[in-house]
Protein backbone atom coordinates (compact mmCIF):
# COMPACT_ATOMS: atom_id res chain seq x y z
CA UNK A 1 0.00 0.00 0.00
CA UNK A 2 1.22 3.49 -0.83
CA UNK A 3 0.51 6.63 1.16
CA UNK A 4 0.99 10.37 1.29
CA UNK A 5 -0.32 13.29 3.30
CA UNK A 6 -2.61 16.07 2.08
CA UNK A 7 -2.84 19.41 3.88
CA UNK A 8 -6.28 20.46 5.09
CA UNK A 9 -7.84 22.85 7.62
CA UNK A 10 -8.32 19.75 9.81
CA UNK A 11 -4.60 18.93 9.75
CA UNK A 12 -2.67 16.64 7.45
CA UNK A 13 -4.91 13.92 6.08
CA UNK A 14 -3.42 10.50 5.42
CA UNK A 15 -4.21 9.23 1.91
CA UNK A 16 -3.49 5.56 1.21
CA UNK A 17 -4.18 3.11 -1.55
CA UNK A 18 -2.75 1.68 -4.71
CA UNK A 19 -1.54 3.30 -7.92
CA UNK A 20 -5.12 2.89 -9.20
CA UNK A 21 -7.45 3.71 -6.32
CA UNK A 22 -7.81 5.53 -3.02
CA UNK A 23 -8.57 3.15 -0.15
CA UNK A 24 -8.10 5.20 3.02
CA UNK A 25 -8.40 8.78 4.21
CA UNK A 26 -7.21 9.16 7.77
CA UNK A 27 -7.62 12.07 10.15
CA UNK A 28 -4.67 13.32 12.21
CA UNK A 29 -6.76 13.28 15.40
CA UNK A 30 -10.03 11.94 16.78
CA UNK A 31 -10.97 8.41 17.76
CA UNK A 32 -10.22 7.12 14.24
CA UNK A 33 -6.89 8.90 13.74
CA UNK A 34 -4.73 7.03 11.25
CA UNK A 35 -1.00 6.77 10.74
CA UNK A 36 0.85 4.91 7.99
CA UNK A 37 1.48 1.27 8.76
CA UNK A 38 5.10 0.05 8.80
CA UNK A 39 4.76 -1.96 5.57
CA UNK A 40 3.34 1.00 3.61
CA UNK A 41 5.57 3.00 1.31
CA UNK A 42 5.51 6.78 0.88
CA UNK A 43 4.64 7.67 -2.69
CA UNK A 44 2.96 10.99 -3.49
CA UNK A 45 2.26 10.61 -7.23
CA UNK A 46 -0.77 8.25 -7.07
CA UNK A 47 -2.59 10.74 -4.83
CA UNK A 48 -2.02 14.00 -6.69
CA UNK A 49 -5.58 14.09 -8.05
CA UNK A 50 -7.10 13.20 -4.68
CA UNK A 51 -5.04 15.89 -2.93
CA UNK A 52 -6.09 18.45 -5.57
CA UNK A 53 -9.78 17.55 -5.28
CA UNK A 54 -9.61 17.72 -1.47
CA UNK A 55 -8.00 21.18 -1.71
CA UNK A 56 -10.82 22.28 -4.03
CA UNK A 57 -13.38 20.87 -1.58
CA UNK A 58 -11.85 22.74 1.36
CA UNK A 59 -11.78 25.93 -0.74
CA UNK A 60 -15.52 25.52 -1.37
CA UNK A 61 -15.04 24.93 -5.10
CA UNK A 62 -15.71 21.17 -5.25
CA UNK A 63 -19.05 19.69 -4.28
CA UNK A 64 -18.52 16.14 -5.58
CA UNK A 65 -15.44 13.96 -5.97
CA UNK A 66 -14.40 12.11 -9.10
CA UNK A 67 -11.86 9.60 -7.88
CA UNK A 68 -11.27 5.87 -8.23
CA UNK A 69 -12.17 4.46 -4.82
CA UNK A 70 -11.59 1.02 -3.37
CA UNK A 71 -12.93 0.96 0.19
CA UNK A 72 -12.61 -2.29 2.11
CA UNK A 73 -16.21 -3.04 3.10
CA UNK A 74 -18.65 -5.87 3.68
CA UNK A 75 -21.64 -6.02 1.30
CA UNK A 76 -23.83 -4.25 3.89
CA UNK A 77 -21.19 -1.58 4.51
CA UNK A 78 -20.89 -1.08 0.75
CA UNK A 79 -24.66 -0.47 0.56
CA UNK A 80 -24.36 2.16 3.28
CA UNK A 81 -21.33 3.79 1.65
CA UNK A 82 -23.24 3.97 -1.64
CA UNK A 83 -26.18 5.63 0.13
CA UNK A 84 -23.84 8.13 1.78
CA UNK A 85 -22.54 9.18 -1.63
CA UNK A 86 -26.11 10.07 -2.64
CA UNK A 87 -26.52 12.63 0.18
CA UNK A 88 -26.35 15.99 -1.61
CA UNK A 89 -23.63 18.46 -0.73
CA UNK A 90 -24.73 20.74 2.10
CA UNK A 91 -27.51 18.40 3.28
CA UNK A 92 -27.75 15.87 6.09
CA UNK A 93 -29.60 12.63 6.69
CA UNK A 94 -30.30 10.64 9.85
CA UNK A 95 -29.19 7.06 10.40
CA UNK A 96 -32.83 6.03 10.12
CA UNK A 97 -33.20 7.79 6.78
CA UNK A 98 -30.15 5.95 5.46
CA UNK A 99 -31.55 2.65 6.77
CA UNK A 100 -34.83 3.30 4.93
CA UNK A 101 -32.96 4.38 1.79
CA UNK A 102 -31.22 1.00 1.60
CA UNK A 103 -34.45 -0.88 2.25
CA UNK A 104 -33.62 -1.89 5.83
CA UNK A 105 -35.74 0.42 7.98
CA UNK A 106 -34.86 -1.33 11.25
CA UNK A 107 -31.12 -1.23 10.70
CA UNK A 108 -30.34 2.25 12.08
CA UNK A 109 -27.73 0.95 14.51
CA UNK A 110 -26.09 -1.21 11.85
CA UNK A 111 -26.07 1.83 9.56
CA UNK A 112 -24.36 3.77 12.35
CA UNK A 113 -21.71 1.08 12.69
CA UNK A 114 -21.13 0.97 8.92
CA UNK A 115 -21.00 4.77 8.80
CA UNK A 116 -18.42 4.74 11.59
CA UNK A 117 -16.22 2.27 9.71
CA UNK A 118 -16.14 4.37 6.52
CA UNK A 119 -12.51 4.21 5.34
CA UNK A 120 -12.91 7.24 3.05
CA UNK A 121 -14.43 10.07 5.09
CA UNK A 122 -15.03 13.39 3.35
CA UNK A 123 -14.98 11.76 -0.11
CA UNK A 124 -17.69 9.35 1.05
CA UNK A 125 -19.51 11.92 3.18
CA UNK A 126 -20.24 10.16 6.47
CA UNK A 127 -20.07 13.59 8.13
CA UNK A 128 -23.50 14.32 6.56
CA UNK A 129 -25.17 11.73 8.81
CA UNK A 130 -26.60 13.07 12.06
CA UNK A 131 -28.87 11.86 14.83
CA UNK A 132 -32.63 11.81 14.30
CA UNK A 133 -32.92 14.77 16.69
CA UNK A 134 -30.57 16.79 14.48
CA UNK A 135 -27.72 16.46 16.96
CA UNK A 136 -24.21 15.78 15.77
CA UNK A 137 -23.17 12.26 16.63
CA UNK A 138 -19.80 10.53 16.65
CA UNK A 139 -17.25 11.14 13.95
CA UNK A 140 -13.84 9.51 13.45
CA UNK A 141 -12.12 12.87 13.10
CA UNK A 142 -13.89 14.25 16.18
CA UNK A 143 -17.06 16.32 16.48
CA UNK A 144 -15.25 19.63 15.86
CA UNK A 145 -14.10 18.26 12.48
CA UNK A 146 -17.64 17.11 11.65
CA UNK A 147 -19.02 20.52 12.58
CA UNK A 148 -16.34 22.18 10.43
CA UNK A 149 -17.22 20.05 7.38
CA UNK A 150 -20.96 20.66 7.73
CA UNK A 151 -20.43 24.41 8.19
CA UNK A 152 -18.08 24.49 5.20
CA UNK A 153 -20.69 22.86 2.99
CA UNK A 154 -23.49 25.10 4.21
CA UNK A 155 -21.40 28.20 3.46
CA UNK A 156 -20.62 27.04 -0.07
CA UNK A 157 -23.80 25.16 -0.92
CA UNK A 158 -24.92 27.62 -3.61
CA UNK A 159 -21.45 28.81 -4.59
CA UNK A 160 -20.99 29.66 -8.25
CA UNK A 161 -18.01 28.27 -10.09
CA UNK A 162 -18.07 25.09 -8.02
CA UNK A 163 -16.96 21.79 -9.52
CA UNK A 164 -19.79 19.29 -9.15
Contact 27, 34 (CB under 8 A): yes
CB contact set of 76 (below 8 Å; sequence gap of 6+) = 110, 114
The whole-angstrom separation of Cα 73 and Cα 77 is: 5
Cα-flanking dihedrals φ and ψ of residue 140, to 5°?
-55, -30
Question: How many Cβ atoms from other residues are within 10 Å of residue 116's Cβ?
Answer: 16
Length of the chain: 164
Catalytic residue among 16, 107, 126, 149: 126
> 126 catalytic, yes or no?
yes
Please give the positions annotated as active site. 126
Amino acid sequence: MFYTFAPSPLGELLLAGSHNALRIIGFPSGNKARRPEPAWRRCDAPFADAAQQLAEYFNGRRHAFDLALQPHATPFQAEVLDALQRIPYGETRSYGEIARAIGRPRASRAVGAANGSNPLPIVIPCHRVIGSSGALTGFGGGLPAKRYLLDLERRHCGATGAVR
